[in-house]
Amino acid sequence: MSRLFAGTPFDIPPKCDDCGELVSHCKCTPAEKAASEARRQQAADRQQREAGRLSPESQTAVIRVQKRKGGRKATVITGLTDLANDLPALLKQLQADCGSGGTVKPKEDLLEIQGDHADRIRKSLSALGYRVKG
């Protein structure tokens, strides 16, 4: 008897989280248990990220056009944090609107779009509800 309330009316034998059977009668393989634990962890991570999201109205995006070597230009969007937004999804939408390539730098909390697309990006972000500066 290793459980705290074993042998009392409060004794509730532990059940498997996957199949619902008593742990002593569980037929789940270690691979199935590992897969279900990974799914639970992904769901918890997704829920935690969604809890930290901010509404677009409460954020301000700063748009700048930078000159690069060779005379190329890049539009840089700062002020949007990776924790409060889904930056890769936002980048894809902005790339589609501009018809251009770009990248996300989550450590620096910035988006880069190739070329001078400040006006288009300003309109796109305003349409999504973000406040825009620059």
Write out the two tokens for 24: 């002593």
Residues 6+ apart with CB under 8 A from 57: 129, 130, 131
pLDDT in tens, 28-70: 888 998 999 999 898 888 777 777 677 778 889 999 999 999 9
pLDDT in tens, 64-102: 999 999 999 999 999 988 777 888 889 999 999 999 999
pTM: 0.62
Residues 6+ apart with CB under 8 A from 30: none
Share of the chain above pLDDT 70, in %: 96
Confidence of residue 1 (pLDDT cuts 50, 70, 90): low
